Structure 1
């Protein structure tokens, strides 16, 4: 569990810092739009910079999203199963699908990056950015996701053995927030209906 906690700490640190790149992408997009409108000038480097920043967030924050249990699930199906079955689905999914995917993608994305770096591959667009940093992000993202998948597998097995408490057992994430909001709206509607019925009497 020490290894899992260390991976979680690194994943959280990376995710929280990298997520701020979205703000930087928004600022670049805004400044670029203002300059284009006011001075009729633009730059492919600015446009591509936005794409690279978004790619960095998407790839490097995927493991943080996994740690937070925020990845999309088919809740209408998943909620019908017992906790034990859901745990087994997670173990099976991580071991059979997620881990092999991260290994394959890491294996193939490394030469994808090194070939680009060796020739200092540049954008095909005039004034664009070098291509190898964005290709390195693919490799880095799947490596980080690999380690987080290992951590999640360790924790899920420990939960099934009763060694730790499931941190997501009480609900959490967007699904729980949506359910809570739906319940609140239902209660408001019922209260208004009751008030309207009482007024008619």
Structure 2
């Protein structure tokens, strides 16, 4: 299990790197958007290429940060329901959900994204808009995003198994950890129900 935890930490570091660095693409998208809007209003000029760069950057941020978001446990979930469950139950739900739903979905999307990207790359596919850009970089971000999300799903499965087995503690501040007073209230409720 130790070698799997080492693999998990390596995956976490890779997604941490991507998540922190693609955040700069948001700034680039904002600056390009502001510059494009200013030029359009002041000089009555516009460029499809600049508009497409904006959505390329937005798409890259969305796709390349998905694994990082999973690592930080910030994906949307129904905390109202999870808050009424014990930590062990939440860990089991995450493990089963990641293994049965998330991992197969990510593997399937990675499998489907490869030819989607590769055909575009080989053909030099261009945007149908006048003055548009090549398409394959945007399709490459879809492929890379799903590869990163798939590896992070593997990492999360490894960590959940280790946590359930008592080999590691959950990361402090993660959404798996409820505040101590809520956790204590759940334990007291469980004692009364028994």
Which TM-score tier does this pair reach, normalised by the shorter chain?
0.7 to 0.9
* Shift, 1:172, TM fit: 4.8
For structure 2, list consecutive stretches of 5 or more residues without a partner in the other structure.
180-194
Q: Normalized against structure 2, the TM-score is what?
A: 0.86
Q: How many angstroms apart in 1 are the aligned matches of 2:20 and 2:79?
A: 26
Question: Alignment length, in residue pairs?
Answer: 174
Q: Which runs of 4+ in 1 moved over 3 A?
A: 170-173
Give deviations 1:109-138, integer Å, cap 9, x for gaps: 100111111111000100011111111111
Structure whose CA Rg is larger = 1
Q: How many angstroms apart in 1 are the aligned matches of 2:44 and 2:169?
A: 58
Correspondences of 1:129-168 after superposition (within 5 Å): 129-168=133-172
Instruction: Sort the Cα spacing of 1:139 and 1:171 in 2 relative to 1 into closer, same or farther, 3 A.
Output: closer
* Shift, 1:58, TM fit: 0.2
Partner residue in 2 for 1:103 = 107
Partner residue in 1 for 2:11 = 7
Cα RMSD of the aligned pairs, angstroms, is: 1.5
Q: Which moved more, 1:25-34 or 1:80-89?
A: 80-89
Q: Normalized against structure 1, the TM-score is what?
A: 0.83
Matched, 1:85 2:84: no
* Shift, 1:171, TM fit: 5.0
Q: How many angstroms apart in 2 are the aligned matches of 1:10 and 1:139?
A: 16
For structure 1, list consecutive stretches of 5 or more residues without a partner in the other structure.
177-201
